[in-house]
Chain A
Amino acid sequence: MEKFANWLRRYSLAIFIHVLVIALWQFWVVLGDVPSYVAPTPVDTAMAIFSNYDWTRNTLVTAAEIFGGYFLAVIFGVGLALIFSWSRILSSTFMPLIVSANMIPKVALGPIIIVWFSYGLWPNIMIAFSICFLPILLTTERGLSEVEPDLLDLVRSLKGSRWQIFTKIQLPGSLPYIFSGMKVAVVLAVAGAIVGEFIASEEGLGYLMLQVQVTLDTAASFLAVFLITLVGVALYAIVLILERLFVVGDRRLEGSY
């Protein structure tokens, strides 16, 4: 009970501001007599859950694309940064390619990706992955290179191995960097998956938005946006919790989001 009270005190401001925004939105629509195809009330938006659009399945599809693309990006981003930190030659060969390839507008590649992977989950996972992978790679690489030269001397004076430097100093020291890259990547993964669904797909919340737009069912469109946001916030929350677990002893994290 006391724990709950603490939790409430800590997050009451955050909860309050969210509730306030939703309430203001309700008042604006009702008092301003805004037509429902322009902006539905929060209540109308919530009620759209009862229309028969198969919300569960579409939400799961979109969530799978976002989480899938994000997961791949973390694996490849962190993995490549580790490899590059070990091999200068690989790094100076492939980093320029990765950076220039990143400049390719992924949205423009959409139609080609569909030719390669056809419709379905995979092309959208690939688009989400390709958009959110670079910040993870860059921040991890930066974090791994951030080692005090004197600290290296200290370890070397004890004839410490490269592996010891890596596991005891480089890797734990790079975690705050990895997590800041991962936080940025959440937003990009969400955008990537939805863009993919816009370009071509047969299911998912992005696909659904295009469908309901035809009938001016703005409430359903709003609900789709809300659910997409919810998936993104859930992913962000997971990253935040992992950060709290793995990054310890860093005062900068106290009360950060």
Chain B
Amino acid sequence: MTTDAFIRLDGVRKFYRSRGQEFLAVSDVSLEIEEGELVSLVGPSGCGKTTVLKILAGLHPHDGGTVTIGGGSTPFDATRDIGMVFQQSLLLKWRRIIDNVLLPAEILGLPMRPARDRARDLLAMVGLAGFEESYPYELSGGMQQRAAIARSLVHDPKLILMDEPFGALDALTREKMNLELLRIWSESRKTIIFVTHGIQEAVFLASTCAVLTAGPARMADHFEIDLPYPRTLSMKTSEKFGEYTRRIYALLGME
């Protein structure tokens, strides 16, 4: 193990207790993530990928193993260095888009004037320039997710956790958003952990892909995706891409 990894998960396990019974939500998750990586966690529902995300976000304690974020060259502040994006945009419908993007800044008590400028820049970056004063209902599902991504970046966190952020979008919008995410990632240079059950999506986006299986919930494997950035949709038909997706299907016992 190298010592300078940004995030290190080592044998992480988590139990849930329900009606006096314990069951394993995740086990054996060991993973090292370098700063600036885009890591996808892929697996079927019930494999514990969301649980891993919540452990990283500090929302759930874990029952075994170690989780270390930051250290050495990159300090990590668990309060303000996490941005989150969910399947639903969770925009507050009584707030204008710009004020939605500002929510984390308000909660953290950041100076509002510079935060507002930053929110404007971020909205421009995610392609929502001109929609600052709109209300969420005036935006399409894909645009709402763009706003949610801008919101996750407004307090300039080092780590962005995304839980199936494009899972509720139609297939075409989803592909478009994948390309958008890659662009935003390359512009913002954040570390992104991206949970999905879309195998194509997982391979297409990630620099590293971790595969989790259900019943029992455990991490089956993780490997680098050796495809060059910037990625293009034509890569999806390449031989290498096919090898990666077949590998994941095999790990999930679907081949």
Contacts and interface: CB of A to CB of B under 8 A. Distances in A.
Interface stretch (A12-20, A36-44, A145-153, A182-190): A145-153
Contacts of A249: 93-96, 135-137
A24 to B, nearest CB: 40
Contacts of A159: 78-79
Interface in A207-256: 247-251
B90 A148 contact: yes
Contact of B135 (A148, A158, A172, A248): A248
Chain B's interface: helix, strand, loop or mixed, by majority?
loop
Interface string A165-193: 00011001101000000000000000000
Given A148-B88, A153-B54, A250-B94, A168 B82 contact: no
Contacts of A151: 90
B92 A150 contact: no
B102 to A, nearest CB: 11
Contact of A158 (B86, B92, B104, B137): B104
Residue of A151, A158, A247 most packed against chain B (CB within 10 A)? A158
B79 A172 contact: no
B107 A164 contact: yes
Nearest to A169: B92
Contacts of B93: 249-250
Contacts of B216: none
A10 interface: no
A155 interface: yes
A251 B90 contact: no
Interface string B99-116: 000011011100000000
Contact of B82 (A150, A157, A250): A157
Interface of A: 148, 150-151, 153-160, 164, 168-169, 172-173, 175, 247-251
Interface of B: 54, 57-59, 78-80, 82, 84, 86-88, 90, 92-96, 103-104, 106-108, 135-137, 155, 161, 163
Given A153-B59, A157-B82, 14 more contacts: A150-B86, A151-B90, A153-B84, A153-B86, A157-B58, A157-B84, A160-B107, A168-B107, A169-B92, A172-B92, A175-B94, A248-B94, A248-B135, A249-B137
